[in-house]
Amino acid sequence: MNKPTDNDGGGAPVPGVKKYSRFLEFYKKEGGEKDMSSIEHSNGRWLFVTILVFFSIALSGVLSLLLGYWYFNRQLGQDRKYEVKVAVSGDPKIISGDELVYLVDYANLSGVELRDARIHIRYPAGFSLLSVLPEPTGDSSIWDLGVLSSGATGQIKIIGRILGEKDSSKTLSSVLYFVPHNFNSEFQEIGSTTGKIVGSDLSLALEIPDEMYVGEKVRGLIVYKSLRNEPLGNIKIDFENPSSFEILSSSVLLDPVENVFIIKNAVAEGEIAIEGIWGAHPGEDKQSIKLLGELGDESNFYRQSEIEKTMNVLRSDIESSLVANGSAEKSAIYPGDLLQYSLSIGNKSDALLEKIEVVFVVEGKSDFNNSHLRKDFRLLDWDVAKFNAPPLVKLLDIPKDQSFIFERRQMTWGEGEYKELAKLSPEGEIELSLSLPVTSSAAIKNLLGVDDFGRIEMESHFEVRVGKTGGKSLGQVIRSNSIRSILHSDLALDSAIRYFDENSVPIGSGPLPPEVGKETKYRVFWKLSQSFHESGTVSVRAVLPDGVSWAGNIRVGAGEMEYDFKNKVISWKINQLPSFTREISAVFDIALVPEAKHSGQILVLVPKPSIEAVDLYLKSPIERYGKTLTTNLEGDSIGQGKGIVGE
């Protein structure tokens, strides 16, 4: 069947054919005038007209807005340069802690009224509002002015107290929002003033002897004062002292972690009584103690003043030294560890010391109220404590205002407990020792009654009391240095090596026991766990010995494991471990090819790995070690004992 054309008499017309034929007809005509009316136009003309109308309307709207804006600004600028004025004035030199007065002046100098006018004040950091006139209509920073008629003026008076560090700048700004008459857009005008802090209202002084002896207690005063004789508000005093100087007591509680005093709502003048001691000679006689004073609001403190006191520190004729696990200052302890103390006493005088008594005091402290603790909570297991000379032990009462202390225990040695204390010759020394196990993680959590907990530590020191010197009664008391032993996360690594799995299926290969010149493969299992305090930047590291090589097959539950072929270092790194991490594993294979010199020996396959991390609660480093793995395959029920290299 033929398709219908334009000349066909029957059939339905084919869309587009007629139009196309008309174009052909138009172009085929020769000699005649081209008649454009013979062309049938498409509906595209109507689309073009619609778009043209739309853009015409939009352009008219934009022109109207521009004309309105031009008209308003022309009206504002007919006679004056600035038609809406906002000016803020204040003292350019500021004394931190002092009262300040700011004036915010505003005026409508235009020829039209302004609607919906409001002022928004932006206060600088450290500013405390004391009074304002007139009162704000919203919060303390917003004033709704309503309609400002032409020529209207006004003023806001702000009185406040500002805190900041010396040489810092403080800016108070004011924004006036308004809508001009017969206009819908909002405009704004900004005014501000900036002042520089040139001094502080806080004055500090430290009254303490210029000369001190190691081991002897000294008393002093920290005096704070307002130079304008007005209440100071909140004060923080940082006590920066050499590590061998210790504050024993104070009339204001000293934060033992930050080493700061905080006085809230302080009056114009006050003092803090302190008692301190040089527990050991710092190495040089000239020493300095520094105080840093800060004033604060509800959320922040700002450094104000700094003083430094220099003194002479002299050696005593009686020396005392306390060491715990090799440290004379602060040390980390872990659940299940052994805390070993050494108390040393030396006679540096020319006289005989007699009737010596040693009193050792241990205090358990936490950063939470001890009302949460069970009464039988003990961080150290005193039932299995060991002494080179058993002392007299006494539990001391805990003051009601010191709820952060959960235990206070005293041990005393006299000549009856340790006969060497009866007499100590010149240049003679006496040493007492004791070891105390740290309670296990499970026991600590059970006794605390909580799953996760904060800072727990033991603080210890001892005193030497001398009855006679050179045959004369003396009653001299010398105090040792103090040691803080802080409980860290119980992060631990369990290491194992196997040839057979738990179902007695071989997962290693090669001869067992290993043989000279032949390769034996083993599988190593590392498992990390912890039950309190989050740990960060965890790194487990081990170096393979000669004759042992990396055999791959890595599987890790978290983090990344890498092997450095050049240095033979295995490293496993994890960004963060949650408080309750029961087990995260890493598995890898190693290979051993013994040499002739190894025949008849049990060989080390993986030396004890080191564990380094950060206790994220204490923000303190963690250093632990795993166990060494050998060819003896401890823990492999079938392979254990088959570790001696054969020929």
Q: Average pLDDT over the chain, rounded to whole?
A: 84
More confident residue, 86 or 469: 86
Query: Mind listing the pLDDT tens digit for each residue in 73-95?
Result: 555 444 333 489 999 999 999 99
Query: Mind listing the pLDDT tens digit for each residue in 346-382?
Result: 998 888 889 999 999 998 888 765 555 666 678 888 8
CATH architecture of 202-314: Sandwich (2.60)
pLDDT score at 470: 72
Angle at 328 between CA 326 and CA 331, to 5 degrees: 70
pLDDT score at 365: 84
pLDDT score at 48: 65
**Mean pLDDT value of segment 613-625:** 91
- Does residue 30 carry a pLDDT above 60? no
For domain 91-200, say whether CATH 2.60.40.10 is its number. Answer: yes
Residue 14's pLDDT band, with cuts at 50, 70 and 90, is: very low
Check: pTM over 0.85? Answer yes or no: no
pLDDT score at 67: 62
**Mean pLDDT value of segment 565-588:** 91
**Mean pLDDT value of segment 402-417:** 87
pLDDT score at 33: 46
Most confident of 81-95, 108-122, 281-295: 108-122
Residue 322's pLDDT band, with cuts at 50, 70 and 90, is: very high
**Mean pLDDT value of segment 159-177:** 93
| DSSP label at residue 524 | E
**Mean pLDDT value of segment 464-469:** 86
- Does residue 508 carry a pLDDT above 70? yes
- Does residue 11 carry a pLDDT above 50? no
**Mean pLDDT value of segment 619-631:** 92
**Mean pLDDT value of segment 397-420:** 85
The per-residue b/e assignment along 14-47, b for 16 or more CB within 10 angstroms, e otherwise, is eeeeeeeeeeeeeeeeeeeeeeeeeeeeeeeeee
- Does residue 2 carry a pLDDT above 70? no
**Mean pLDDT value of segment 478-506:** 91
- DSSP secondary structure of 174-211: EEEEEEETT--S-EEEEEEEEEEEEEESEEEEEE--SE
pLDDT score at 62: 62
- DSSP secondary structure of 283-330: SSSEEEEEEEEEEE-SS-EEEEEEEEEEEEEE--SEEEEEEETTBSSE
pLDDT score at 368: 64
- Does residue 327 carry a pLDDT above 80? yes
Return the CATH number of 492-630, one of 1.20.1070.10, 1.10.20.10, 2.60.40.1170, 2.40.50.140: 2.60.40.1170
Q: Let me know if the fold of 91-200 is the same as that of 202-314.
A: yes
Residue spans of the domains in the chain: they are 91-200, 202-314, 318-487, 492-630
**Mean pLDDT value of segment 172-176:** 96
Residue 212's pLDDT band, with cuts at 50, 70 and 90, is: confident
Q: What percent of the chain has pLDDT over 70?
A: 84
What would the CATH number be for the domain defined by 318-487? 2.60.40.1530
- Does residue 307 carry a pLDDT above 50? yes
- Does residue 12 carry a pLDDT above 50? no
Q: Which helix H or strand E contains 342, and what residues bound it?
A: strand 338-347
Instruction: Answer for the pair 387, 433: CB distance below 8 angstroms, yes or no.
Output: yes
First-to-last alpha carbon distance for the chain, in angstroms, is 99
**Mean pLDDT value of segment 157-182:** 92
Query: Mind listing the pLDDT tens digit for each residue in 46-70?
Result: 566 667 666 677 677 667 656 655 5
pLDDT score at 280: 73
88 in helix, strand or coil? strand
Rounded Cα–Cα distance for residues 83 and 153 (Å): 12
Query: Mind listing the pLDDT tens digit for each residue in 249-266?
Result: 899 988 877 889 999 999
Query: Mind listing the pLDDT tens digit for each residue in 527-559?
Result: 999 888 889 999 999 999 999 999 988 899 999
Rounded Cα–Cα distance for residues 148 and 117 (Å): 7
- Does residue 23 carry a pLDDT above 80? no
**Mean pLDDT value of segment 197-220:** 90
pLDDT score at 31: 44
